[in-house]
Amino acid sequence: MTGDAETTCAFCRILRGELTPGVVAFRDAHVAVFPSLLQQPRNRGHMLVVPVRHVAGIYGVDAEIAGPLMTTLSRVASAVKKAFGAEGVTIRQNSDRAGGQDVFHLHFHVIPRFNRDEFVAIDRKLGAMEIAIEERIEQAKRLAAVL
């Protein structure tokens, strides 16, 4: 860790075990996976796939993490579907504030989807709510068991 961004970044703090211990479902040298804090009631099991090294956004992806990131993203999509009984998944990546990015550490959302779940973009006004740490730890365990 070399800069202020890595020191204050919420995702870096999760990966260092400073925030929400027990929520990391998977981690290797390049990529980690943990449940999103905000999840919609009909889409529980919403996971985030992040590079372990602090990368602020999609524009900073290099060859060292691109392959592992995409490989893990594919594995997590399959695992989310199986672990949470989903009928499909939505994968999202928001870039820049104007694009909806709110944590400036690159991350991909893997959201379990169900027929007629009425999913809308993550927004507290539209029904997304914070998920208790205990439930996020349980979600991480379910996903880890499938991965």
If one counts every other C-beta atom within 10 angstroms of the C-beta of residue 37, the result is: 21
The answer on pLDDT for 106 being more than 60 is: yes
End-to-end CA distance of the chain: give it in Å, rounded: 28
Residue whose tokens read 């691109």:
66
| pLDDT-based confidence at residue 125 (cuts at 50, 70, 90) | low
pTM of the model: 0.87
Query: Which residues, at least 6 apart from 42, have a Cβ–Cβ distance to it below 8 Å?
Result: 114, 117, 118, 119
pLDDT score recorded for residue 130: 87
**Averaged pLDDT for residues 69-95:** 97
What's the token pair of residue 129?
A: 């709510």
Amino acid at 52: V
Q: What are phi and psi of 130, to 5 degrees?
A: -70, 140
Per-residue model confidence (pLDDT) at position 124: 54
Q: Which domains can be identified in the chain, with CATH numbers?
A: 4-146 (3.30.428.10)
